[in-house]
Amino acid sequence: MLEYYSGPYLVLSVEAEKIANLLFLQRERMRMHEYAEKIASIGAAANPTFMTLGISPVSWGGGQAVLKMKASEKLHNGVGFLQGGFYVILADEAIALAVLAELDPGSGTTTISETTEFIRGTKDDEIFAVAKIIRKGRRIVFAEAEVRRGSVDGDLLSKTTASYLVTQC
């Protein structure tokens, strides 16, 4: 059994540390918001909008979230580009996941304000919404999301800012 020094008076075996880490993760999972728990367990099936539009969760946690979807022809406007409302939906869902993943179980949100600036169009590309919390107070959360083409670092297509009221269910 390997041992190492891990503090002023505490010596743990590697096995004991693994058990401690598993217990910590289990405690954190019990504190996870119901929505984030559903995303973690069943993915896109947790959200009907995800299923309808082909949105996939990529990552979330730590006040951030990334979602992706394919800008298919069936979502185009009359001039052949992805209709702007789908940028807003993707950004809004990414922001909601970033925010809800940071809330305690039993909490919810309601949107106070949301604004989207459209920068460039796209046709049949995979697009990514990259959301992050800007400031989280006790009752109000400010967040933003960028929708990008091809990757999380791709061409900027739109930018959304939002504020949410934290509610207790």
The band of 45, judged by pLDDT with boundaries at 50, 70 and 90, is confident
Alpha helices in 63-126 (DSSP H): 84-100
Which pLDDT score is estimated for 115?
A: 98
- CA 112-118-121 angle, to 5 degrees, is 140
Does the pLDDT value for residue 1 go beyond 50? no
Report the candidate in 103, 131, 89 with the shortest Cα–Cα distance to residue 36: 103
Query: Which pLDDT band holds residue 16 (cuts at 50, 70, 90)?
Result: low
Measured over the CA atoms of residue 39, residue 41, residue 45 and residue 47, the dihedral's sign is negative
List of residues 6+ apart from 54 with CB closer than 8 A? 69, 70, 72
List, for residues 87-145, the tens digit of each pLDDT value.
Answer: 999 999 999 999 999 988 888 899 999 999 999 999 989 999 999 999 999 999 999 99
**Residue 13 pLDDT level (bands cut at 50, 70, 90):** low
pLDDT at 35: 83
**Distance between CA atoms of 95 and 79, rounded to whole angstroms?**
28
Where along the chain do its domains lie?
A: 6-168
135 beta partners:
142
Is pLDDT above 80 for 27? no
pLDDT value of position 31: 60
CATH 3.10.129.10 fits 6-168, yes or no: yes
